[in-house]
Amino acid sequence: MSTTPRIAIVGAGLGGLVCARVLQRHGVPVTVFERESDPDSRSQGGTLDIHDETGQVALRAAGLFDEFLALSRPDGQEWRLYDRHATLIRHDQAAEDDLSRPEIDRGRLRALLLDSLAPGTVHWSHSVQSVIPLPHGTARLQHHDRTTEDFDLVIGADGAWSRVRPALSDAQPSYAGVTMVEAHFDDVDHRHPGIAQLVGAGTMSAKAGRRSLVMQRNSNGHVRAYITFRGPQDWHAGLDLADTEAVRARLLAQYEGWDESLLDILRDTEGGFINRPMFVLPVPHTWRRVPGITLLGDAAHLMPPVGVGANLALLDGAELAQAVIGHPTVDQALDAYEGVMLPRALDNAKTARHLLATLMPDTDSDDALFPDAAWPAGTLPDPGLAHAT
């Protein structure tokens, strides 16, 4: 660009951080505003499979691909599918040299991106209240402490409940009809051998009708479980979600008749359960161009968690940074970026919506447990997206 733009990224998630990293690699300064107090203020979610055609492309653009590979778990690509009787229906294992979708803990990937940025790039405990378009194509960022700053480009990378999105769109996330209840296991190979056998080195899912049980192995013997079912958002009405044993009893009642080894996923959890209703944005979600403001990741295209959310956020972030670097004005950069990102998001959102309807039908009949191609490799719940709710 003929002059260096003032750029703000709202949200220090994966998409916002990779965008900042690519910009800085090319000498473009950027400030990231994050409402969390520090990098360790909350759990960053479970494991992610980083795809070679999306997320890995972004990490290569960020100059971090080799570091990512060193932290990743290629053996985590293993995938097991069971029916509710614990009969193994399908078992996929990647070849020894297959790096198409290696797994990595979301927290480790975020830490890698954070460590790659110049010191002071991320302003922690900076919650954004709104973004206001200004004349001449700039935008004013308003913080919760009522202070304001003006930028040539404000990027909303702040997830499902974005504070930047209202400057572009009236769309709000709506409940998708499916809830994930998260649970945890530690040191599974020693303390929970039955769980370790079910999950293997990667991911398992047991499915029947509109209910499933999903487990994913993370680093250091940690396993996250996702009890996933179609039903009303207030499925827990009359229940104190802080009462672990009451929640456990309610969930066990929902899965009555399932194999005992699968019910151990509900019985033997460590700590409490975390309720994570699934939210989505309308399809299509688009907006009329507002100079100086754009979105990436879940802020732009929140969709059902079928394994593509984090990858699309990474690719969005890298491509947006490259567009800024490669065009003489911010407006031209946004033309290039949104012209590719929005159609891609629409295609993926349609596919995700179809997969959710197929995998979580509105029936408990076992007649259509496994429709043709219902579980293509890689289409597994993405806990990263669940955390965005």
pLDDT digits (tens, 9 = 90+) for 183-215: 999 999 999 999 999 999 999 999 999 999 999
Note the pLDDT tens digit of each residue in 124-142: 999 999 999 998 899 999 9
pLDDT of residue 307: 80
For residue 77, the surrounding DSSP H or E stretch is none
**340 with 323: CB under 8 angstroms?**
no
pLDDT band at residue 376 using 50, 70 and 90 as cut-offs: very low
Q: What average pLDDT is seen over the chain? A: 92
The residue with greater pLDDT, 88 or 363, is 88
pLDDT of residue 382: 43
Q: What's the pTM value of the predicted model, to 2 decimals? A: 0.93
Mean pLDDT of the region 157-177: 97
pLDDT of residue 365: 61
The residue with greater pLDDT, 363 or 129, is 129
pLDDT of residue 1: 57
Of 1-10, 59-68, 329-338, the one with minimum mean pLDDT is 1-10
Answer yes or no: is pLDDT of 313 > 70. Answer: yes
Closest CA to 263 of 195, 344, 193: 195
Report all structural domains of the chain as residue ranges with CATH numbers, in order of start.
Answer: 7-73+105-173+281-359 (3.50.50.60), 175-280+362-387 (3.30.9)
pLDDT band at residue 366 using 50, 70 and 90 as cut-offs: low
Q: How far apart are the first and last CA of the chain?
A: 36
Answer yes or no: is pLDDT of 9 > 70. Answer: yes
Q: 339: burial class by Cβ within 10 Å (0-12, 13-18, 19+)?
A: exposed
Of 1-5, 133-137, 305-309, the one with minimum mean pLDDT is 1-5
Contacts of 306 (CB under 8 A, 6+ apart): 351, 352, 355, 356, 359, 379, 380, 381, 382
| CA angle 290–157–278, rounded 5-degree value | 110
Q: Are strands 31-33 and 122-123 parallel, antiparallel or unpaired?
A: parallel
pLDDT band at residue 369 using 50, 70 and 90 as cut-offs: very low
pLDDT of residue 385: 34
Note the pLDDT tens digit of each residue in 227-266: 999 999 999 999 999 999 999 999 999 999 999 999 999 9
Percent pLDDT > 90 in the chain is 86
**148 with 130: CB under 8 angstroms?**
no
Mean pLDDT of the region 12-38: 97
pLDDT of residue 44: 77
Mean pLDDT of the region 166-183: 97
Answer yes or no: is pLDDT of 389 > 50. Answer: no
Q: What does the alpha-carbon distance between residue 217 and residue 223 come to, in Å, rounded to a whole number?
A: 4
